[in-house]
Amino acid sequence: MKNDLNEVTVYAPATVANIVCGFDVLGFALSNPCDKLTIRISRTPGVRITNLDSFGLPVEPEQNVIGASLLAMLSETQGHIGFDVDSTKAIKPGSGIGSSAASASGAVVGANSLLGDRFNRQDLIRFAMCGEQVASGVKHADNIAPCIYGGITLIRSSQPVDIVPLDFPPLFVTVIHPQIEVRTSDAREILRTRVLLKDAVRQWGNIAGLVAGFMKGDYNLISRSLEDVIVEPTRSILIPAFSRIKQESMNAGAMGGGISGSGPSIFMFSKEESTAIKVEKAVASVYTEIGLPFHTYVTTISKEGVQIR
Amino acid sequence: MKNDLNEVTVYAPATVANIVCGFDVLGFALSNPCDKLTIRISRTPGVRITNLDSFGLPVEPEQNVIGASLLAMLSETQGHIGFDVDSTKAIKPGSGIGSSAASASGAVVGANSLLGDRFNRQDLIRFAMCGEQVASGVKHADNIAPCIYGGITLIRSSQPVDIVPLDFPPLFVTVIHPQIEVRTSDAREILRTRVLLKDAVRQWGNIAGLVAGFMKGDYNLISRSLEDVIVEPTRSILIPAFSRIKQESMNAGAMGGGISGSGPSIFMFSKEESTAIKVEKAVASVYTEIGLPFHTYVTTISKEGVQIR
């Protein structure tokens, strides 16, 4: 432990899990919004959390994403140490753009920096998955991996953790967050446990196409591969006007997109920023018309994950 | 039709479909063995086939892979023309390394050359799929696409045809063909029509990893991704000593591998030719021990598809 570094501030980005056809295996980091966490190392064991926002998240460490992640890290750390965390969330919990993953990833990256980077990124993902479990009941890594690595990541396997960063061309992202609540656990429960083999084959053709499209920088291939025949048909029922939002986005020039994570946010890829803004206007007019409060972002894929400043 | 070019000879390579986790969507071309076809254009409509090998395949065009493929092509061709084909197969029918696809692909590439290349590769795949239907009852493209394109191909979709050639690093291939018959139609019938979503997720994590591994030239990632939790557990039952063959191959240093297409051939990837030869010896000793006749090849992934000479 360095005496001259007992406090660190990190910015942890929002993330989009699944990327349409890549259920539970693909995700990417957004340049905006980001949560801010200030972490201090302490000689008092345990984790103490102060929320500097108005979301009213629990502060008991075992019930808090930050707390559970850091307790997992402390369980593998020698010595009588603990952490004090000030959390200022910009990513609304339950929005479907990786709010819990940002808390978990920001906490473990920041704390690890205070510990002289003694853990590697696979360890950090393991710890942060304990935070995700508090939020959703499932130790999934499809938001955590892009939050920590940045860019677009493949989670080939989460046990053991096997993360593959993927190259990608410039892409603009429109995010639409209808202000309704979809619990990740509910969104998981409505999925069928069995799927048709022929649908699975079509899905993995699309996933393979999407990975190849990102790596080749082939926009047309990315666009053709953004099709989900397994999860979207079920989950989209939970999201108001989903098919109209998607259709209006495509009409406005979007390459494609779909549900962000388990929703309710929807994301759309565009090749140009001007198109992404047109998409934002198109979807805003749909939710304005039906009188549903919403929030939008027009941003890019962030090449950086959690940043220490 | 050029008068100075009324005959062409083509060499059509064997192919490996599926590549373990990529059921129905991935395939690659082998440098060896290759079928030889000599095709003459004629003013007499229809297709006439002469088999210059001892496999005893039917010569009635509607019941023959070459015939069905060329009749599909002729149905979209103006004028009173036909083809005479001499077929010399080196790829044993029923071996699971794309024997029917070589006949179909060689025929349509050669005939198209005689027609001044009036059809594009997507058309050729459509025609050749009519040949595959004669052989297996299914219009699949996972052998035809690599046979025509060469290299490793993703068949993102077969209706409409959407083929994505993938970059790949140098790889050596050991093929083991136990001399038993597995009908493609039987191998399809034993597959379950529904699969567990969690298995499908694991499979598409592996497919995404395999595509990324090929494109990055990351041998370890390729090796980790060569896992099939959907098809191999069922189909391998049809192949004698499958798990022992696989285990002995891995012990000899193979990166991984599995059933070629619907079997009975098995393929293994190695990074070095010397390893591929060790793998060949290891698997040969297994089939020698149990007294099963077999044939082996040690070869590479061919960057060329059907070649006109």
Confidence at residue A189, expressed as pLDDT on a 0 to 100 scale? 80
Separation CA B81–CA B62 (nearest Å):
17
Confidence at residue A2, expressed as pLDDT on a 0 to 100 scale? 42
Cross-chain CB nearest to B154 (options A25, A195, A208): A208
Separation CA B29–CA B88 (nearest Å):
19
Question: What average pLDDT does the structure give for chain A?
Answer: 95
Indicate whether B2 pLDDT > 50: no
> Buried (b) or exposed (e) across A272-285, using 16+ Cβ within 10 A?
eeebbbbbbebbbe
Indicate whether A301 pLDDT > 50: yes
Confidence at residue A76, expressed as pLDDT on a 0 to 100 scale? 96
The 10s digit of each residue's pLDDT in B74-116 is: 999 988 999 999 999 999 999 999 999 999 999 999 999 999 9
Question: What average pLDDT does the structure give for chain B?
Answer: 95
Cross-chain CB nearest to B203 (options A204, A209, A212): A204
Which of B126, B96, B124 has the alpha carbon at shortest distance from B188? B96
- 3 state SS of A215: helix
Indicate whether A1 pLDDT > 50: no
Task: Say which residue, B235 or A136, is predicted with more confidence.
Answer: B235
Q: Is A132 a residue of the active site?
A: yes
**pLDDT tier, A136 (very low <50, low <70, confident <90, very high otherwise):** confident
**pLDDT tier, A4 (very low <50, low <70, confident <90, very high otherwise):** low
The 10s digit of each residue's pLDDT in B282-301 is: 999 999 999 999 999 999 99
The 10s digit of each residue's pLDDT in A141-175 is: 999 999 999 999 999 998 899 999 999 999 999 99
- Percent of chain B residues past pLDDT 90, beyond the cut: 90
**pTM flag (> 0.90):** yes
Instruction: Provide mean pLDDT across the span B245-259.
Output: 98
Question: Among A18, A139, A204, A215, which would you mutate to test the B interface (most chain B Cβ atoms within 10 Å of its Cβ)?
Answer: A204
For A225, the closest chain B residue by CA position comes to B156
Indicate whether B185 pLDDT > 80: no
Token pair for residue B106? Answer: 């060689």
**pLDDT tier, B25 (very low <50, low <70, confident <90, very high otherwise):** very high
CB contact under 8 A, A198 and B193: yes
Q: Mind telling me how many Å the CA of A67 is from chain B's nearest CA? A: 29
Separation CA B204–CA B206 (nearest Å):
5
Separation CA B242–CA B266 (nearest Å):
8
Indicate whether A258 pLDDT > 60: yes
**pLDDT tier, B4 (very low <50, low <70, confident <90, very high otherwise):** low
CB contact under 8 A, A205 and B230: no
Instruction: Provide mean pLDDT across the span B180-195.
Output: 81
Bridge pairing between strands A161-166 and A152-158: antiparallel
Separation CA B20–CA B27 (nearest Å):
10
**Neighboring chain B residues of A201 at a CB cutoff of 8 Å:** 23-25
Which of the following is catalytic: A15, A132, A153, A296? A132
Confidence at residue B24, expressed as pLDDT on a 0 to 100 scale? 95
Confidence at residue B15, expressed as pLDDT on a 0 to 100 scale? 98
Confidence at residue A192, expressed as pLDDT on a 0 to 100 scale? 85
Cross-chain CB nearest to B156 (options A156, A194, A206): A206
Which of the following is catalytic: A15, A174, A184, A299? A184
- Percent of chain A residues past pLDDT 90, beyond the cut: 90
Confidence at residue B190, expressed as pLDDT on a 0 to 100 scale? 82
**Neighboring chain A residues of B26 at a CB cutoff of 8 Å:** 208
Instruction: Provide mean pLDDT across the span B214-218.
Output: 98
Q: Mind telling me how many Å the CA of A12 is from chain B's nearest CA? A: 25
The 10s digit of each residue's pLDDT in A194-252 is: 999 999 999 999 999 999 999 999 999 999 999 999 999 999 999 999 999 999 999 99
**Neighboring chain A residues of B212 at a CB cutoff of 8 Å:** 154, 164, 166, 211, 215
> Buried (b) or exposed (e) across B255-281, using 16+ Cβ within 10 A?
bbbbbbbbbbbbbbbbbeeebbbbbbe
Q: Which of A33-37, A226-230, B137-141 has the lowest mean pLDDT?
A: B137-141
